[in-house]
Amino acid sequence: MIDNYGINIWGDNNFIIKNSTVNINHKSQPSLLEITKEIRNQGYKGPLLLRFPHLIKKQISTLYEEFNRAKKEFGYRGSFQAVFPLKVNQLANFVSALINVSKEFNYGLEAGSKAELLIAITHTPMGAPITVNGFKDKEMISLCFIAANMGHNITITIEGLGELETIIAVNREFNAKKKIAVIPKIGVRIRLHSSGIGVWAKSGGYSSKFGLSSTELLEAYDLIKKHHLLKQLWMIHFHIGSQMSEIAPLKKALREAGNIYADLKNRGATALNAINIGGGLAVEYSQQEENKEVNYSLKEFSNDVVFVMKEISKNKGIEEPDIFTESGRFIASSHAVLIAPVLELFSQDYHEKSLRLKEVNPPLITELNELWISLNRANAREYLHDALDHMESLLTLFDLGYIDLEDRSNTEILVNLIIKKSILLLENDASSELKKLQNKIQERYLLNFSIFQSLPDFWGLEQNFPMMPIDKLNIKASNPATIWDITCDSDGEIAFNDNAPLYLHDVDVTKDEYFLAFFLTGAYQEVLGMKHNLFTHPTEVLIEFDDKGHYQIENLIESQNIMDVLDEMNYDKITLDKKLKDMIKKSNLVNQEEKNNLQTRLDFYLSENSYLKTIQANK
Ligand SMILES: *Cc1c(COP(=O)(O)O)cnc(C)c1O
C-alpha cells in the first residue's frame, strides 16, 4: 500500500493527495509543489514558510460554530466569545491575516507582555475584547488604562494582589480629576487545584506560577469592594495548560472555577459576567493511529463546557455567564506549512554501483553476493540471517588483518542491499527483528533548514510534527529516513523512529528536486525558534485565493540577509562592510580588475540569507 503519511489523522481535510502531490483542499486545489516552485523560480532558495489564511478562518469559525451549536442544544443564555493569545504567534503576517479573517466574529487578542499589548491595542477592532494576562508593572497597567480611554474593551486579569494594588493606584492617577472615570475591566486569575496533563501542564495546580489562592481571592474581593471597583470585576480566568490530551482535567477545573465564580457572584460581585477557560484545546500531531495525542473532539469539548456551566448556574441560582476561550494552538497551528528542500542523501555509498568486487573475492563475500542475487520472498528470512552472520565474520577477518578495505566496503554494501531487499519482500511481516534492521539501513536526508529555528518544540520536547514529501506520492517510499538539518549541531536531527517510522523516496537530488513539508507549525514555533548557527526565520508568504479560486502569493518577507543577522548580534554592519572593502583593496595578491570582481561577488553573497542554495557543484 502506498503511504499517505497519516494525512487522514492529522490533516483535518485541509490537504489532499492528488495523483502524486499534496494539494490544498480549497478552491482550485493547487499543489504545494507548484506554489513552492513558483516562489523558488523568483530566486528564493532555502526553506519556505507558507501561511494559509483560509485555514485560520476555518479554525475560528469552527470554534464559534461548535460553541454556538452547544449553546443552542443546551439552551444556554450566556454568549460565547474568544480571544487569540498572542504568545502563540506574534508575527505581523500572521496577526494581520488573523484579524482580517475574523471580522465577523468580534474576535479579540490576549496579551501577556507590553510589546504584545501594543500589538493588541493597534490590531484589535474597537469593541472586540482585549485581555491582558501575565505579570504586570505600573507601566503595563497604565497602558491598559490608555487603551480603555481610547475606547477599547480591555480586561486586566490580575495574577496577584500586588497587581490589584497597582490598579488602584493607577486608577487614582488617571481618574482623580475626571467627572466620568474610564477604567479597564478587571478579571481575576484563580489558582485551581486541578491541573492539566502532559508536558505543558504546569500552568495549573497549586504550585502553578499564576493565579490567586482562595485566601488571596477573598482578600482581593474585599480590596476591590473597598475601592469601589466591584462594577469593574467581571471575569474569572483560569488556564490549565496547553495541548490537553484528555478532557477530564478540564471538566474538573471547570467545576472548581464555576463554583468559585458562583460564590463570588452570590457574595456581591454583581458585575461578574464571564468565565474565561483559557486555552489548551489540543491539536492532533500524530501520523499513526496508535500514537494519537487527543481523545476528544471540539464537539465534546464545547458540549462539556456549556453543560457544566449551565449545571453550576442552575444549582447556584445565578445567571449563566458568558464563556470566553483563549485557544491558541488550535487556532494557529494548521495555518503554516514549512517546506524544506532536500540537499543530499547520505548513504548513496550503499548503492550497487559502488561495489568494487574483485576477480577473486574472499569466499564469504562471494556468498553474500549470491545471497543478494537469489533472495526471494520464500527464503528472505533465512538468507537475511545468513548475511548478518557473514557480516560478523567478515568484520572480524578485517580486524585480524585477513581482508582489506575494499572487502570491508563490499561487505557493508552487500549487507545493506540484502536488508533493504528483505524488508521490501517481507513488508507485510512487521516483526520486531525487521523493525530493528531498519535502523541499520536508514538513509540520512540533509534538509536545507534548521530544526532549532523552525521546529524548536521537536528539539526541546520531542513534539512530533507531521512530515511528508510533497511529490512522488504515487511511488512507494521505502527508505527508512533520518532527517538532518544544516546546523553544525548533532541535535539538529530527527532520527528514524521505530514507533513512528518515516519512509522517504530514493531520489537523486542532482537530477530531481525533492521537498519535505512539515505541517502544523503555526503555533509557538516561530517565536520560540532560535538563531542557532545564525540561521534565521525562513522566507515566508501568505497564500490567498482570488474570486476565481486561483492562488496568489502575497506579503513575501525574505529571510534576513547575512549582514542584517550580524547587525542584530550587535556587530556594526557599516564597520564590517568597510573592513571587508579595505581587505580587498589592500590585498597585493590580485590586480584592480580582479578586486572589482571579488567585491561584486562579495556584495552579492552578503545580500543573501544564510541558508544554502544547493550543495551540488552543477547547480
Ligand atoms: C498560553 C496560554 C493560552 C494558549 O494556550 P493554547 O494551548 O495554545 O490554547 C491561553 N491562555 C493563557 C493564559 C496562556 O498562557
597-608: pLDDT as tens digits? 999 999 999 988
CB 288 within 8 A of CB 500: yes
Within the chain, all domains assigned CATH 1.10.287 are found at: 562-606
Question: Considering the domain 562-606 in this protein, what is its CATH number?
Answer: 1.10.287
Residue 617 confidence (pLDDT) = 47
237 touches ligand 1 (CB under 6 Å):
no
Tell which residue, 236, 271, 231, has the closest CA to residue 254.
236
**Ligand 1 centre distance from Cα of residue 458 (Å):** 19
Q: How many CB atoms lie within 10 A of CB 139?
A: 10
What cell does 199 get?
A: 508536558
CB 39 within 8 A of CB 553: yes
Tell which residue, 224, 197, 201, 228, has the closest CA to residue 212.
224
Tell which residue, 437, 382, 388, has the closest CA to residue 415.
388
258 touches ligand 1 (CB under 6 Å):
no
Amino acid at 450: S
Question: Considering the domain 358-439 in this protein, what is its CATH number?
Answer: 1.20.58.930
Counting from 1 in the atom list of ligand 1, the atom nearest the Cα of 524 is: 8
**Ligand 1 centre distance from Cα of residue 240 (Å):** 9
333 touches ligand 1 (CB under 6 Å):
no
Q: Which of 82-86, 223-227, 455-459, 477-481 has the lowest mean pLDDT?
A: 477-481
Share of the chain above pLDDT 90, in %: 84
CB 565 within 8 A of CB 610: yes
- Neighbour-count burial of 392, counting CB atoms closer than 10 A to its CB (0-12 exposed, 13-18 middle, 19+ buried): exposed
List pLDDT tens digits, range 409-464.
Answer: 999 999 989 988 888 888 777 676 777 777 777 889 999 999 999 999 999 999 99
88 touches ligand 1 (CB under 6 Å):
yes
Residue 346 has pLDDT above 90, yes or no: no
Angle at 435 between CA 430 and CA 441, to 5 degrees: 135
245 touches ligand 1 (CB under 6 Å):
no
281 touches ligand 1 (CB under 6 Å):
yes
Please list the residues that pair with 447 across neighbouring strands. 342
List pLDDT tens digits, range 472-499.
Answer: 999 989 888 999 999 999 899 999 998 8
Ligand 1 pocket test: which of 239, 247, 301 has the largest number of ligand atoms within 8 Å of its C-beta? 239
Within the chain, all domains assigned CATH 1.20.58.930 are found at: 358-439
- CB neighbour list of residue 197: distance below 8 Å, 6 or more residues apart: 241, 244, 245, 246, 249
What cell does 62 get?
A: 469552527
147 touches ligand 1 (CB under 6 Å):
no
133 touches ligand 1 (CB under 6 Å):
yes
DSSP code of residue 126: T
Please tell me the distance from the alpha carbon of residue 110 to that of residue 332, in angstroms, as a whole number. 14
Ligand 1 pocket test: which of 110, 197, 325, 524 has the largest number of ligand atoms within 8 Å of its C-beta? 110
Pairing between strand 80-85 and 108-111?
parallel
Beta strands in 159-212, from DSSP E residues, in sequence order:
185-189
Residue 440 confidence (pLDDT) = 73
Distances, alpha carbon 563 to alpha carbons 537, 566, 616, in Å: 15, 5, 25
Confidence of residue 468 (pLDDT cuts 50, 70, 90): very high
469 touches ligand 1 (CB under 6 Å):
no
Residue 610 confidence (pLDDT) = 87
Please tell me the distance from the alpha carbon of residue 38 to that of residue 22, in angstroms, as a whole number. 16
Residue 423 confidence (pLDDT) = 81
326 touches ligand 1 (CB under 6 Å):
yes
Q: Which of 108-117, 302-311, 470-479 has the lowest mean pLDDT?
A: 470-479
